[in-house]
Amino acid sequence: MNTEKVLFAFFIVLALTLNFGFFLGDIAEPLQHNVYELFAALVVSLVATVLKLGDSSHIGAVFLATSLVADLQLIAAAIVWGAVQGWSETGLTHGTMAAVVSLSGGAVLANVISVVLLLAETLNVRR
């Protein structure tokens, strides 16, 4: 029972679950997407990225890349949401909500690839 391995897998899977949870629901309906969940998804995604640093193998590089992509998408979503809510005259419209959710959808895909890689690595080790 390796604590480090448990934590590593925990954060990666948690990143995917939170992200997917935020993504679920009508793409243009603000009430179906909780801002706290986006926040949580972003934080856990950042933690997962840091955990993936420091592995110079090929699979480690791709791992890190997927995490960075997910971070990028979620940060973009948060910025769009915050900017629209804070500074635009119309506030959060259906269109901008759709933009935010679609960005998070991209992050979901990146996280899915990340989890698939994690599974592949785990199956290879086979212990």
Partner 1 sequence: MKSNLVYVLFRRLRWPLVVMILVYAVLVLGFVLIPGTDEQGKPWHMDFFHAFYFVSFMGSTIGFGEIPHAFNGMQRMWTLVGIYASVITWLYGIGALLTTIQDPAFRRLMTDSGFQRKVRGIHEPFYIVCGYGDTGRQLVSAFADEGIRSVVIDHEQMRIDTLEIAALPELVPGVCADASQPDVLKKAGLEHDYCQGVIAITGDDEANLSIALAVQLLRPEKLMIARAEDPHATANILSFGANVVINPFKTFAERLALSLHAPGMFVLFEWMTGVPGEPLREPVFTPRGKWILCGFGRFGRAVYERLIVEGIHATIVEADPDKTGAPADTIEGWGTEAGTLKEAGIHEAVGIVAGTDHDSNNLSIILTAHELNRNLFTVARQNKRQNDELFHKADVDLLMRQGSVIAHKIYAFIRTPLIEDFLRHAQQHDNDWANSVVARISAVVTDEAPHLWQLEIGPGQTPAYVSLIGRHRITLKDIRRRPHDRDALLDCVPLLLKRGIKETLLPPDDTEIELGDQLLLCGRREVRKAMEWGAGNADVLAYMLTGEEHPSSLLGRWLASE
The 10 Å Cβ neighbour count of residue 124 is 8
Nearer to partner 1, 20 or 39 (CB): 39
Q: CB 44 → partner 1: shortest distance, Å? A: 9
Q: CB 37 → partner 1: shortest distance, Å? A: 12
CA distances from 50 to 24, 54, 90, 102 (A): 26, 9, 37, 25
Q: Which residues form the interface with partner 1 (CB under 8 A)? A: 35-36, 39, 43, 46-47, 50-51, 53-56, 78, 82, 85-86
Token pair for 56: 């110079």
Nearer to partner 1, 43 or 116 (CB): 43
Nearer to partner 1, 36 or 125 (CB): 36
Nearest to 14 by CA among 36, 34, 43, 35: 43
Indicate the residue type of 50.
V
Q: CB 27 → partner 1: shortest distance, Å? A: 21
Q: CB 111 → partner 1: shortest distance, Å? A: 17
**H or E segment and range at residue 71:** helix 58-87
Nearer to partner 1, 26 or 55 (CB): 55
